[in-house]
Structure 1
């Protein structure tokens, strides 16, 4: 199964681009792209999809997305039709930006960690959100090299904060676990490597780190805030969500590859954790193809469906400014 691939307006000479949209519609499909993206929404409520996370957002939303992470924002139709003004500011920048020698320096350690963490999508809130929104609004105006400095200040702000929440599960977008404990790092790595084994038990991991089952259970829950069983199920369900989107394999095949050897039990757990069946989950993402921001009068190269047919959007209904830096 394919997801729309966005061709972003980012060009080779760019450090980043800023798209500033006012009352610009929310009718684009779920999609991904190889660039990082920081997306700010102000004055709108709706539903946000990031990886296997589906959540409501209200009034304001700020999320950092890693490369190729599936995402989509829907705006409530009633609010859009009411004429209430809303704004979307999107910053996109390339993976290659962090491959140079400058970003390998010690001062950039936390920013590099932020970029790795973005593979799951990160939502920011609190005072961090307020300060980030102020900087992002400022970045919509071309101030020359000052924009580059402000962009780095924005990344530094986001890399230092605790006002952040991961969105996609570890199974959907695996990442390194932040912890000073070598034992939990070893345990986490082992679980990620062997979660597809239906016979994986807590005792296997406890033995690996030289602890009793009971001691490891308390230790694991203290550091991850979840029981071993709940953590393992999260990993497995997240992985099945990714396979449902990335492949055309049957539900039975996907369940087997994710560590479930009982299809009925898998279906029960999936519905408990995702509030729908695997087949229903997959149907949400049936649209496929590619769209190109740079070749359209509208921001994306596709047309929304209406009454089963595709109709062009009137260019006058869109107001998007694009700035390259």
Structure 2
């Protein structure tokens, strides 16, 4: 899997980039870049990795990621099937913190925007009426050009800077860009984990893949992700279970088995530990919504 340290540099002739995405699947490469990124998944499902957070994603999710915050929207495996008719759609906006130049960004009128950028260091996911309004505005933004597009972007950022309808995504900030070898290593880890998390994962196989000892790999992963590899796999399994609980009529026992848990009691315990409620309560709450 190729690595991508700085995927979307903004041309010197542009203040920002806004573009529509339409493809078989979202880019499956874990990466970070200096630009701030505003991203909405118009259509598509999969697993989202932002900083140390793991979550299933679906249609119409709106996220702002800060500079150097590593992220990956990995489409479900069925999107990678060459015969599949499935397609993804999204809109992404890349911009620098000094969007209007260093001098102007230090002015009083820009303080709210600077606070928004600072908060995005941990990633922000928006919800409610604010989210719906911004998604509508983003669809309009990609149809505009010139000064009109900049004015429209500032209106979007103004709305996001004022709203309280958001929550943080990652528990920690990532101030520095990842080195190329780290990016390549973690892409191998994610690819292996996503293909094998439903069965027992042998740490030595993954360590061999990265030419490390199991002990060195465990230490490396913990430092890079702010959590142990075992916890990472458990969260991956639980988030997939959440998806099956809300999208299928499969029994909790079947879902437990499909997600790689040893026993139903172990599944119930770990699910409650991460989601703060039992699988049955999670499903009931979703159905009531």
Matching residue of 1:167: 169
1:45 paired to 2:11: no
Instruction: Tell me which moved more, 145-154 or 84-93.
Output: 84-93
Q: Secondary structure at the match of 1:69?
A: coil
Write the distance in 2 (CA, Å) between the matches of 1:256 and 1:133: 35
Instruction: Judge conservation of contact 1:39–1:89 (CA < 8 Å) in 2.
Output: yes
Matches within 5 A, 1:24-103: 24-78=24-78, 82-97=84-99, 100-103=102-105
Structure 1 residue runs of 5 or longer lacking an equivalent are 175-247, 259-265, 278-325
Contact 1:51-1:168 at 8 Å conserved across structures: yes
- Aligned-partner SS, 2:6: strand
Deviations along 1:91-147, one digit per CA (max 9) or x if unpaired, are 001233265222222222111011011111111111111111111111111342111
> Which of these residues, 121, 124, 130, is aligned with residue 122 of structure 1?
124
TM (normalized to structure 1)? 0.52
SS of the counterpart of 1:130? helix
Partner of 2:160: 158
Preserved CA contact (<8 Å) 2:47 2:55: yes
Conserved 8 A contact 1:21-1:87: yes
C-alpha spacing 1:58/1:254, structure 2 compared with 1 (3 Å): closer
Q: Does structure 2 retain, via aligned residues, the 8 Å contact 1:42–1:87?
A: yes
1:173 CA displacement = 4.0
User: TM-score normalised to the size of structure 2?
Assistant: 0.58
TM-superposed deviation, 1:82? 4.8
Q: Is the 8 A contact 1:3 1:32 kept in 2?
A: no
In 1: Cα distance, 2:55 partner to 2:222 partner: 28
Distance in 1 between the 2:34 and 2:86 partners?
Answer: 33
Match of 2:216 among 250, 263, 269: 250
1:98 touches 1:112 (CA, 8 Å); kept in 2? no
Q: Unaligned regions of 5+ residues in structure 2, if any?
A: 176-212, 236-289
Partner SS, residue 96 of structure 1: coil
3-state SS of paired residue (1:6) = coil
1:9·1:17 contact (CA, 8 Å) conserved in 2?
no
Aligned residue number for residue 282 of structure 1: none
Q: Distance in 1 between matches of 2:137 and 2:221?
A: 44
Summarize deviations over 1:250-281 as a string: whole Å, max 9, x none. 368669989xxxxxxx96xx74x53459xxxx
- The CA RMSD measured in Å over matched residues stands at 3.4
Q: Structure 1 segments of 4 or more deviating over 4 A?
A: 79-82, 251-258
Q: Quote how far apart the aligned CAs of 1:78 are.
A: 3.1
Superposed displacement of residue 71, structure 1 = 0.6
The match for 1:149 among 124, 132, 151 is 151
Q: Of the two, which has the highest radius of gyration?
A: 1
Residue pair 1:15, 1:93 contacting (<8 A) in 2 also: yes
Q: State the alpha-carbon separation in 2 of the partners of residues 56 and 123 from structure 1.
A: 13
How many Å separate the matches in 2 of 1:54 and 1:126?
Answer: 21
Higher RCO (C-alpha 8 Å, min separation 6): 1
The number of residues matched between the two structures is 195
CA offset digits 1:54-107 (Å, max 9, x no partner): 101122211111111111101223367653454111100123326522222222
Give deviations 1:159-206, integer Å, cap 9, x for gaps.
111111111113x448xxxxxxxxxxxxxxxxxxxxxxxxxxxxxxxx
Classify 1:95/1:111 alpha carbon distance in 2 versus 1 (closer, same or farther; 3 Å): closer
- In structure 1, C-alpha distance between the alignment counterparts of 2:221 and 2:54, rounded to whole Å: 21
Spell out, residue by residue over 1:266-313, the C-alpha distance to the aligned partner (whole angstroms, 9 max, x if none): 96xx74x53459xxxxxxxxxxxxxxxxxxxxxxxxxxxxxxxxxxxx
| Cα separation, partners in 2 of 1:129 and 1:11, compared to 1, 3 Å | same
